[in-house]
Amino acid sequence: MSIADYVPYAQIISSGGAAIGLWLAAWQFSRSRKTTTLQHLQDFLKSTNEREAALADATDEQKKRHAFVEYLNFLEVYAAAVIGGLFIGVAEELVRDKLMDSIITLERAPAWHDIIVKSVTSDITYKYLRRFAEKHRKLSNYDARHSRLNKAWTRSLPRIGGAAHDLSESVCKSARFY
């Protein structure tokens, strides 16, 4: 037998090797994506805790107001990330649930409503928080007409009625807003 007789076998073996290599690359990409998603989720939770702590530890009204507005901006970024599909799977679900929980928690803290209204400077302020809240309120059968926060925010420039802000109950209690 000549070398030419072995070429079809070599092609079959090399095609099989390429297929295995492609499968391994896809598997590695999948694992890498899961690891990256976990890192993003851990970063979100760490940042959430840092911002809640900054708000709880603020010593005077000026610092509390600043920490609160910074927290709103932080949540705006994550609402945009959820809307933009930058989170996947469980990470997306956890961030979405945390943002929804923030809406409910903030509604229980009416002392912040005026600060939110005053922090709106244009129709793009909290744009993604509004979109997020509107989308998820419909999904959860939440009637925004009965939202105290919605009523408070509709006095501001654009309809803000449902921005998502995360203040844990402990932060609200420590700040004496319950």
DSSP string of 119-134, one letter each residue = H--STTTTHHHHHHHH
How far apart are alpha carbons 41 and 34 in whole angstroms?
11
Among residues 86, 118, 79, which one has the least CA distance to residue 101? 79
Query: pLDDT tens track of the chain, all 178 residues?
Result: 788 888 888 888 889 888 888 888 888 887 777 788 888 888 888 998 998 899 889 899 999 999 999 999 999 999 999 999 988 888 888 898 888 888 777 767 888 888 888 888 888 888 998 888 888 776 554 444 444 445 444 444 333 333 333 333 433 443 333 2
User: What sign has the CA pseudo-torsion 15, 19, 20, 21?
Assistant: positive
Tokens of 34: 């899961």
User: How much is the pTM?
Assistant: 0.64
pLDDT at 113: 86
